[in-house]
Structure 1
Amino acid sequence: MSAPQALALVAVLMGTPAMAQSLYDEASYRPLTADNKAFRAGDVLTIQVVENATAVASADSGSHRKNSAGLELFRDTNSKYRREIGLSATGDFDGGGRTARTGKLVTQMSVTVTEVLPNGDLRVSGEQSLVINQERQQIRVSGQVRPQDITDGNVVLSSRLADASIDYAGDGTLTDSQRMPWWQRVRSWFGL
């Protein structure tokens, strides 16, 4: 190869960018010294659901009413007959009611990061299905997590979920026995 040809070959090689594939992928890279916290879509995060709910409502009301009306009829001033008509009505009503409800849910489940929001928060969602004595129990959890609320063990408390939606439902014989029959609901609706 002559000197001008070698020079032309070097010029062509210098103008062409090098094409090599790297083992480093910026999207999935995590240093060896980094913790195992979820930080991107598809990562798994553990939620500790600890929810206590108590509600109490009471109402008292009362009303009292007394009405009366009278009518007297006279024939004349010398008559011994005297007619009187009277009407009287009274009514009392006292009413009251109280309702109380308490619920407690304690579980631990894993959810998946579905989206990383522009501010860095993680949107998470997941569900868990259990069958215990032929009763299907289903738990669904979704919400928004701040990365600083995730512990080093990749766990976050349910009280740290923003816009949290926690749904716990059961299906089976025991759950069905807890429901009021339709005919009792109709009877209750009519106040019977």
Structure 2
Amino acid sequence: MMRSKKFFLTFLLAVFATAAYGADKPKKPPEPSALDKYLQEALKQSGAPVQPSAGSLWSPASRLTDVGSDVRAAQTDDLVTIVVAESASAVATGATKTSRASAAQSQISALGGKKSVNGAAQNLLNLNTTQSLDGSGSTSRTASLSTTLSARVTHVLPNGYLVLEGTKDVQVNSEHQVVTVRGVIRPADLTTGNIITSNQIAQMEIKINGKGVVNDAIRRPNILYRILLGLLPF
């Protein structure tokens, strides 16, 4: 009985020590995304901004610089409406079929002593082997997202392209969902109402994070549960 208690206490200490080690282990910083790398390269190429002449009222960054332009987004903090309509589908199939046959035969046709056609040692070994494999597999995956959200212009690149970032927070009953969209657009692709579709956004990043009953049911179990599941034989 005492041995069982000691073993149980030792097991609990090992589990908690492993959990504490996993919790205290420093996390690696996340790697920059493709959009972040693109921004770093683009901003490195930006030149010095044009400064107005001393004593002049003219500003090259003012709204009235080009009186013939429309009200489409062109500067930082301007708003753009993004219509997200994304659909992805992947299908893969495979088939494998193999066959193999082998045969081996050994016999003794003559042996010392009286000759006999049907002697006991005439057919010493006869082996036949056949192997075959016939397998097939298929997988398919489909995902779709349809939503509309407003994004803010966070950067104006030297080539005139605009970097957008928008977040939409939706709460329905006990479900909480956050949709984040980032990407690069051309001002010429904007409509007169500052609307652009998701298929016209380059380096686009879409992140969907949710909390609630559904997320609790599908999230990954904690580390203590996974350790116990790996150690217990049932």
> TM-score, normalised on structure 2?
0.61
Deviation of 1:145 after TM superposition, in Å, equals 0.7
Deviation of 1:28 after TM superposition, in Å, equals 4.3
Deviation of 1:29 after TM superposition, in Å, equals 2.5
Q: Give the aligned partner of residue 72 of structure 1.
A: 107
Deviation of 1:159 after TM superposition, in Å, equals 0.6
Q: Give the aligned partner of residue 56 of structure 1.
A: 91
- The unaligned stretches of length 5 or more in structure 1 are 1-18, 188-192
1:32-181 equivalent positions in 2, closer than 5 A: 35-74=70-109, 76=111, 78-79=115-116, 80-81=119-120, 82-178=122-218
Give the letter for the 1:154 counterpart: N
Partners of 1:175 and 1:72 lie apart in 2 by 71
Give the letter for the 2:127 counterpart: L
Deviation of 1:61 after TM superposition, in Å, equals 1.1
Deviation of 1:111 after TM superposition, in Å, equals 1.0
Partners of 2:219 and 2:155 lie apart in 1 by 38
- SS of 1:175's partner is helix
| Alpha-carbon distance change, 107 to 91 in structure 1, aligned in 2, over 3 angstroms | same
Deviation of 1:177 after TM superposition, in Å, equals 3.0
- SS of 2:108's partner is strand
Deviation track 1:65-113 (CA, whole Å, cap 9, x = no partner) reads 1122222235627043234212222111111111111111110111111
Q: Give the aligned partner of residue 4 of structure 1.
A: none
Q: Give the aligned partner of residue 29 of structure 1.
A: 63
1:15-26 equivalent positions in 2, closer than 5 A: none
Give the letter for the 2:187 counterpart: P
- Identity value in percent: 33
Highest CA radius of gyration, 1 or 2?
1
Give the letter for the 2:162 counterpart: L
Aligned length: 166
- The unaligned stretches of length 5 or more in structure 2 are 1-54
Give the letter for the 1:87 counterpart: L
Partners of 1:159 and 1:131 lie apart in 2 by 27
Which of 157-166 and 127-136 deviates more?
A: 127-136
* Greater helix fraction, Structure 1 or Structure 2: 2
Q: Give the aligned partner of residue 12 of structure 1.
A: none
Partners of 2:207 and 2:110 lie apart in 1 by 80
Deviation of 1:136 after TM superposition, in Å, equals 2.1
Deviation track 1:32-90 (CA, whole Å, cap 9, x = no partner) reads 88533211111111111011111111111111111222222356270432342122221
Deviation of 1:160 after TM superposition, in Å, equals 0.5
Partners of 1:87 and 1:133 lie apart in 2 by 71
Partners of 1:162 and 1:33 lie apart in 2 by 28
Partners of 1:34 and 1:106 lie apart in 2 by 32
